[in-house]
Structure 1
């Protein structure tokens, strides 16, 4: 199954603030001193101070170097360049643009290769851009209102009419997902992501039905998602992959999430569906 959706994360930076205050905000967010940043960027604390206070205009190369050492997201690097008076360096190519044909095809092959294990591709606000048949299996029988495009992985998982009632360890899994979003908000300063977080965090938490049998304690190597499917409890460990050194905003904000079986019973059941 392939799904395309569009979404933007927005940018917290604005040119009228100037690049100095923005760089200082990123440095403070990363808890790095001016001296430490200067050493990393082969500069001086004095120059970093002058840039942050507006007494010195950094070169385009210096803006990018500081952004790299502060781990500034690609979208925000463009904002820093604009605030410093330069043109954006990184393109933002629509995912359906022919220039990204190879990227789309590669992601399709990758998530299909994980079958029968669930895998999907999401953007910076968890809109589902592509998904395989393993995901389709988990989403079976969900309300049409939740399955209408654009699908959103967080809504599908945490909505009381979505997967939430089927997740046997919902308090733990919900806490994990919300903490993950909080870390991303701190990193990207995305207003749309914060809006999504506030929405899903406010969802009422379904209560476990009395008929549900307790899940036996198993020494998992990572927090699993334990989910009911046709009378069985399936166990998955989530793994997320991103692109190394992306040069396009769209590509930088893509993530491939795979749900790997966390126990032999889940492996056996998933393979039985395709045998």
Structure 2
């Protein structure tokens, strides 16, 4: 079943959709939610209406993203339970301070913060410098962190970072999976689906992104090899999310940290971070 554009019109459709996405039978969901299978059946046929508490409980059991738990609540006739604040809001000051700290601790290696669609919202100085270098931008060129730069689009675009990524086919398959997962949850007509279709329309992407190649290198991580003007960097990344969120924005933030996969790459970043006149 496809999710409609925006919110579901009724809770029965929302419940059937998310139960199907998680591959659970009515019996399995009933067991995990500690309610009767008959109650699940009545909810899905709209013969019963859930309480607000039950909607939230089913959202937790089905591991529904906070954004879509709000959608389930609206479909059932209740107000959303989770706020969606902008990262610049005063109430988010503590979150931003924590992210600033983590970005600073990552130096001299790059780290950045993106939202669920990989729009750039924060970056440390090494990340901005790395993007400028491989994009061929001046050293003082601004790197917008207002959500206007999409990191996946920038990575896969032939006019973006793709020419500098030696193993871009592998990177492509990995990054498309992130967007496809969001599109699967949002359904057709969504911003995530539109972004996925835009990415798949880029030259060479559809074929390269079909299946990730797990046999090419016997490494415990996906390497990202960047090469330009005689500089070759071998990196791998980790993704960090904030635990126990009660806000949609916080739930969807991801901190991507880049680490050197060899000594030469580590030395390149250390040299660039060293103050003038001081050996790295």
- Please indicate, yes or no, whether the TM-score normalized by the shorter chain is above 0.5: yes
Residue equivalent to 1:228:
227
TM-score of the superposition, structure 1-length normalised?
0.86
| Equivalent in 150, 163, 185 of residue 165 of structure 1 | 163
TM-score of the superposition, structure 2-length normalised?
0.84
Is 2:86 aligned against 1:86? Answer: no
Is 2:7 aligned against 1:14? Answer: yes
- Indicate the SS of the match to 2:53: helix
- Of 244-253 and 26-35, deviating more is 244-253
Unpaired runs of at least 5, structure 2: 206-215, 275-280
Q: Larger relative contact order (C-alpha < 8 A, sep ≥ 6)?
A: 1
User: Residue 200 of structure 1: CA displacement?
Assistant: 2.0
Q: 1:239 to 1:133 in 2, by over 3 A?
A: same
Paired residues, what number?
Answer: 254
Give the whole-Å Cα distance in 2 for the aligned partners of 1:70 and 1:116: 40
- Indicate the SS of the match to 1:168: coil
CA RMSD of aligned residues (A): 2.3
Over 6 Å off, 4+ runs = 143-146
User: Residue 246 of structure 1: CA displacement?
Assistant: 1.1
Give the whole-Å Cα distance in 2 for the aligned partners of 1:265 and 1:187: 41
User: What are the superposed Cα offsets for residues 185-242 of structure 1, whole Å, 9 maximum, x if unpaired?
Assistant: 2234481112112212222249xxxxxxxxxx86422111100144121111121111
Residue pair 1:122, 1:128 contacting (<8 A) in 2 also? yes
Residue equivalent to 2:101:
109
Residue pair 1:112, 1:132 contacting (<8 A) in 2 also? yes
Residue pair 1:73, 1:188 contacting (<8 A) in 2 also? no
Unpaired runs of at least 5, structure 1: 1-10, 207-216
Q: 1:83 to 1:76 in 2, by over 3 A?
A: same
1:101-250 correspondence runs (5 A): 101-140=93-132, 142=135, 150-189=148-187, 191-205=190-204, 219-250=218-249
User: Residue 133 of structure 1: CA displacement?
Assistant: 1.6
Give the whole-Å Cα distance in 1 for the aligned partners of 2:168 and 2:128: 20
Is 2:63 aligned against 1:71? Answer: yes
User: Residue 85 of structure 1: CA displacement?
Assistant: 1.2
- Of 183-192 and 223-232, deviating more is 183-192
User: What are the superposed Cα offsets for residues 13-41 of structure 1, whole Å, 9 maximum, x if unpaired?
Assistant: 535x2101110110011110000000100
